[in-house]
Structure 1
Amino acid sequence: MKSSSLQKRLGLGLTLGMTLLWLGATVGAWLVVQHELNEAFDSALEETAQRILPLAVLEISNREEPAEAQHIATLKMHKEYLTYLVRDAKGEILMQSHDANPKIFNQQPSEGFTTTEKYRLYGASALRGTLFIEIAEPLGHRREAAREALFALLLPLLALIPISLLGTWLFVRISLRSVLAYRRAVEARGVGDLSPIKVAQLPAEIDPLADAVNHLLERLRKALEAERSFTANSAHELRTPLAATLAQIQRLRHEAPDGPLQVRAAKIESALRALARLSEKLMQLAKAEGGGLLSEAPQDLIPLLAHGVDEWNHSSGHRVELQLPAQPHVYSAIDPDAFGILLRNLIENALKYGAADQPVEVSLTGDALLRVINGGPAVPESVLQHLTERFVRGHSEISGSGLGLAISKTIAQGVGATLTLASPATGRKEGFEVSVQFCAHGQ
C-alpha cells in the first residue's frame, strides 16, 4: 500500500481538528446565545406588560362603559411581533391590540410565563387581580433570531476551512523544510554514492534516524570497499603468476613430444587461459562497482563506439556491423573507460553466444540508445530474467565466466542508464538483444 505524505496527513489532520473544534465552539456559543436571547425576549415581554398595564387601567377607568371591548388603533399599519389582551377576571376582553388574535391566548387569564405550541405568553394583573394583561410573542420570531445567530457563527467557517488548510500546509511545509531537504538529498544519491548525508537543522525526532543512516552507509561503504579491494587486488596479483605459468606451459607444449603429455599440457593451458579471463572480468567488475564511472565532461559516444567496434572486427573477422546515427555527435556522461568495458562485454557476449554464421549488429541512436543484437535461437523467459546475475550463463555447454552481462548492468546502473534484455530481438522471430539507454547530454 502506498504510504501517504506526512505533510498531507498533518495538514488535513490539523485542519479537520480545527474545524471540529470550531464547530463544537459554535454549537456551545449558539446554545449560550439562544439562552440569552430567550432571557432578553422574556424580559421584553415582562417590561412591555408592566408599561402597558398602567395605561390600560387608566384608559378603562375613564371609560363611560368600562366593560366594553376596545381595539387600540395604530398610527401606521404594521405586523406586530407582540400582541396583547386586557381582560377582567372572568376572561372578558376589555382592550386588545389591533393585530391581536384572542384564540392564541389562554382561555382564562393568568400571571407569569406560559408557552404554547407557537407562542410565548406573559401575564400580569392589577387592581387586586381584577384586571389582567397578557402579552403574546410568536416563537418563530425567537427561532428566526436563533437561526440568524447560528448562521452568523457558521458562515466564517466557510472561509476558515480553506484559509486554515492553506495556513496549516504552509506552516507544516516550513516546519518540514529540513526533512524535505533530507529526502531530496537521499533521492539525488547515485547508486554508488555511500557518502554521509548532511542536512542541517533536522527535527529532534528525525536527527537520530539520520545519524543511524549515516552510520549504516559508512559501514556499508567500508564493507563494499573491502570487497572491491580484495577482488581487484586478487585479480591483479593473479595476473603476473598466471602469465608466467601460461608462458611456461606453452613452452612445455612446444618441447613435449606428441602423446598424453601434450594433451595434458593443452588442457592445463586452456584452464589457465580461462582463469586469466576470469581474473580480467573480476578486475572489470571491481571497477564497475567502484567510483569513476562518470566523466567530468560529457563524452561523444560515436567515436568511442566506432573505435571499440573496429578493435573487435580486427580480432573477430569483421563479424560486427556498426550503425551510427545521422547526427554527428551523441553525448553522455559515462567515463570512456567504463564505456569501453561495457561495450567489450556486450560484444563479447554476443559473439560467444550468438549464431556463428550471423553478424553481430551494434547500433547507436540520436537519443543515446545503444543496441547490440546477435542471431541464434530465442532465450526462454525463465532464463532471460537471470542473465544479468553473476556467474549465470545462457548455454552451459559454452565456456565463460557468466560475468559479462552482470558487469554491463552494474556499469549501466552506476551511470544512471537502463539496461534491457529482449529475446527474440526487436522485430525478429529469434535472436537476442541488449539495449542500454544512456542519459543524453548536450554539449
Structure 2
Amino acid sequence: MATRTSLQKTLGIGLTLGVTLLWLVGVTASGLVAQHEMNEVFDSALEETAQRILPLAVTDILNRENDTGNQRAPALKDHDEYLTYLVRDEQGNLLLRSHDANPEVFGTTPIEGFSNTSTHRLYGAFAVSNTIYLEVAEPLAHRRESALEAGLALLMPLVVLIPVSLLGVWWIVRLSLRKVVDFQQDIESRGAGDLTPVAENQLPREFKPIAIAVNRLLERLHRALESERSFTANSAHELRTPLATALAKVQRLKTRIFDDQVKKNVTEIEEALRSLSTLSGKLLELAKAEGGGALSQNPHDLVPVLAIIVRDFEDQVPGRIVQSLPEQEVSSFLDPDAFAILVRNLIENALKHGSPNQPVEVSLEDNGTLRVCNGGDSVPPDQLILLRNRFTRSKTDASGSGLGLAIADAIAKGAGMPLHLRSPVTGRQDGFEVVMNVINTW
C-alpha cells in the first residue's frame, strides 16, 4: 500500500538535504583547493628557508679555523621543529644540522629541488661549485594535519547551519503553502452536504486550476441533486394525485353497488390501489434517500422531529409506542426530512413485524444514539444480513413491501452514519433492534 506523504514535509526535507549536499560538495571542493594552496605555500616556505639558511651555513663552515666535523646548530629554547635541515659536503660528510634533525629522514644521494620520501617533503640546494649541499625536510604529517584542521574549520559551521537551514526552509515552505493548507482544510472540514464553492482567490497559480475544477464539480453535483430532488417531488405529486383520484372514485363506486360479487371485486381494486399508493410512496422515499440529500449544510436539533413522528404514530396505535427523549438538544447534520423518513420507516417496520403484545421502544440519547426495538421472534443471522436489500422480508405474515429497512439503510449510508441491525435485542432473548448514531460519521 502506497504511503501518502505531505507536500510540505517532502519539500522541507528535500530542500534541506539538497542544500546540505551542496554545502558538503562545496566544502569538499574548498578543502581540496585549500590543500593545494597550502602545499604551494608550504613548498614556498621550504624553498625560502633553504635559500636563507644555505648562505649562512656556507659562511659558518668556511670560517671554521679547523675542521670540527659535524656540528649541531644550537636552539635558543626547546620547541617543536617542523622544518629540519642538514648540510653535507661532496663526499656526503655531515657538516651541519639543525638541533632536531634526524639524518635517517634525508636521502643518501643529494637531489636539487623538491622530492618526497614516505614521511617527509624535501628541498635540496647546492653551493660552492656543488661541493656543499643543503636539504630541508618537512613532515608530511604536518601538512595532513593542517589540511585536516582547515577541513574541520570549514565543516564546523555546518553543524549550526544545517539545523538553521532546516528551520528556515521549513518556515519558508510552510509560509508558501499556507494558502494550500487552508484550501485542504476547507475541503476536509466541510460536511458531505456542503456544496458551496471553495475559495480560490488566494491560492498559488499552480493550484488555482484544481480549485476551479473542484468548484465546477461541486456546481454540477449541486445541479444534479437539485434536479433529482425536483424530479422526486414532481413525481410524488404526479403519481399520488392520480392514485388518490382513482381511489376516491372506486370508493364512491363501491357505495353505489349492491351486488355482493361486484362489490367484492371493487373492494379488491380498492386494496390494490391502496397498496400501489403505498408502494409508490415508498419508492419515492427510496429515490430521495439514494439521491444524496441525507445531509444538510447546518446542524439541526432532531429531538422535536422525533417527538412529532412518535406522536403521529401514537394517534394511530395508542399505547404501542414507548418513547425516551433527551432533555437537551441533539444537533446533527442529518437532514430533518431524511431523519423523519428514516424514523418513520423504522417505527412502521417495528409495528408491522413486532409482537402486538409488546411495545415498540423508541429512544434517542444525549450522545446521538437512536434505538428502535420491538418484541417478537428473533431473526436468524442469515436473514438478518439480507434485510437491507430491497423487497427483502423475513418470514412473516404481516403486509409490507420490503422497502422500509432499505430506505433507512440508504439514508444512513448517504449520511455516513452506520446502521446496525441486531436480533435478538441487546440484553434480551427475543425481538429486533435497530441502532444508529445520528452524530458520529464514518
Quickly name the TM-score band, shorter chain normalised.
0.7 to 0.9
1:123-163 Cα distance to aligned partner (Å, 9 max, x none): 11111211111111111111111111211222222223222
Task: Trace 1:402-413 onto structure 2 (pairs within 5 A).
Answer: 402-409=402-409
Task: Trace 1:268-307 onto structure 2 (pairs within 5 A).
Answer: 268-281=269-282, 284=285, 289=291, 294=296, 299=301, 301=303, 304-307=305-308
Provide the residue aligned with 1:38 in structure 2.
39
Query: Aligned with 2:11: secondary structure?
Result: helix
Instruction: Give me the identity figure in percent.
Output: 53
Structure 2 letter corresponding to 1:133: L
Query: Aligned with 1:418: secondary structure?
Result: coil
Q: Structure 1 length as normaliser, TM-score?
A: 0.86
The question of whether the paired residues in 2 share the 8 Å contact of 1:321 and 1:360 is answered with yes
Provide the residue aligned with 2:419 in structure 1.
420
Asked if 1:395 is matched to 2:386, the reply is: no
How far 1:347 moved relative to its partner?
1.3
Query: Aligned with 1:46: secondary structure?
Result: helix
Provide the residue aligned with 1:133 in structure 2.
134
What CA distance in whole angstroms lies between the structure 1 residues aligned with 2:383 and 2:114? 91
Task: Trace 1:113-128 onto structure 2 (pairs within 5 A).
Answer: 113-128=114-129
Provide the residue aligned with 1:142 in structure 2.
143
What CA distance in whole angstroms lies between the structure 2 residues aligned with 1:248 and 1:20? 89
1:254-313 Cα distance to aligned partner (Å, 9 max, x none): 444565544443333233223322343455557665769659675372x54444334323
What CA distance in whole angstroms lies between the structure 2 residues aligned with 1:51 and 1:9? 61
What CA distance in whole angstroms lies between the structure 2 residues aligned with 1:161 and 1:260? 99
The question of whether the paired residues in 2 share the 8 Å contact of 1:119 and 1:138 is answered with yes
Task: Trace 1:214-253 onto structure 2 (pairs within 5 A).
Answer: 214-253=215-254
What CA distance in whole angstroms lies between the structure 2 residues aligned with 1:126 and 1:379? 117
1:36-73 Cα distance to aligned partner (Å, 9 max, x none): 11111111111111111111111111112346111112
What CA distance in whole angstroms lies between the structure 2 residues aligned with 1:396 and 1:250? 33
Report the more deviating stretch, 104-113 or 290-299.
Answer: 290-299
The question of whether the paired residues in 2 share the 8 Å contact of 1:110 and 1:132 is answered with no
The question of whether the paired residues in 2 share the 8 Å contact of 1:423 and 1:430 is answered with no
**Number of residue pairs matched by the alignment:** 434
Asked if 1:200 is matched to 2:213, the reply is: no
Structure 1 letter corresponding to 2:151: L
Q: 5+ residue gaps in structure 2?
A: none
Report the more deviating stretch, 81-90 or 289-298.
Answer: 289-298
Structure 2 letter corresponding to 1:420: L
How far 1:318 moved relative to its partner?
2.5
Structure-2 change in CA distance of 1:127 and 1:228 (3 Å): same
The question of whether the paired residues in 2 share the 8 Å contact of 1:194 and 1:221 is answered with yes
How far 1:323 moved relative to its partner?
3.1
Structure 2 letter corresponding to 1:349: N
What CA distance in whole angstroms lies between the structure 2 residues aligned with 1:290 and 1:123? 96
Provide the residue aligned with 1:369 in structure 2.
369
Structure-2 change in CA distance of 1:66 and 1:273 (3 Å): farther
Q: 5+ residue gaps in structure 1?
A: none
The question of whether the paired residues in 1 share the 8 Å contact of 2:124 and 2:134 is answered with yes
Structure-2 change in CA distance of 1:64 and 1:351 (3 Å): farther
Structure 1 letter corresponding to 2:146: A
Structure 2 letter corresponding to 1:329: Q
How far 1:381 moved relative to its partner?
6.3
The question of whether the paired residues in 2 share the 8 Å contact of 1:379 and 1:423 is answered with no
Query: Aligned with 2:419: secondary structure?
Result: strand
The question of whether the paired residues in 1 share the 8 Å contact of 2:232 and 2:284 is answered with yes
Structure-2 change in CA distance of 1:21 and 1:401 (3 Å): farther
Structure-2 change in CA distance of 1:106 and 1:195 (3 Å): same
Q: Structure 2 length as normaliser, TM-score?
A: 0.87
Provide the residue aligned with 1:322 in structure 2.
323
Structure 1 letter corresponding to 2:174: R
Asked if 1:16 is matched to 2:17, the reply is: yes
Query: Aligned with 1:435: secondary structure?
Result: strand
Structure-2 change in CA distance of 1:111 and 1:275 (3 Å): same
What CA distance in whole angstroms lies between the structure 1 residues aligned with 2:406 and 2:39? 85
Asked if 1:439 is matched to 2:435, the reply is: no
The question of whether the paired residues in 1 share the 8 Å contact of 2:300 and 2:336 is answered with no
What CA distance in whole angstroms lies between the structure 1 residues aligned with 2:273 and 2:32? 95
What CA distance in whole angstroms lies between the structure 2 residues aligned with 1:282 and 1:129? 120
Provide the residue aligned with 2:158 in structure 1.
157
Query: Aligned with 2:269: secondary structure?
Result: helix
Query: Aligned with 2:418: secondary structure?
Result: strand
What CA distance in whole angstroms lies between the structure 1 residues aligned with 2:129 and 2:393? 119
Query: Aligned with 2:86: secondary structure?
Result: strand
The question of whether the paired residues in 2 share the 8 Å contact of 1:330 and 1:367 is answered with no
Structure-2 change in CA distance of 1:273 and 1:29 (3 Å): same
Structure 2 letter corresponding to 1:366: D
The question of whether the paired residues in 2 share the 8 Å contact of 1:320 and 1:360 is answered with yes
1:319-368 Cα distance to aligned partner (Å, 9 max, x none): 3222345xx32331466555433322221222234445543222222222
Provide the residue aligned with 1:331 in structure 2.
330
Provide the residue aligned with 2:186 in structure 1.
185
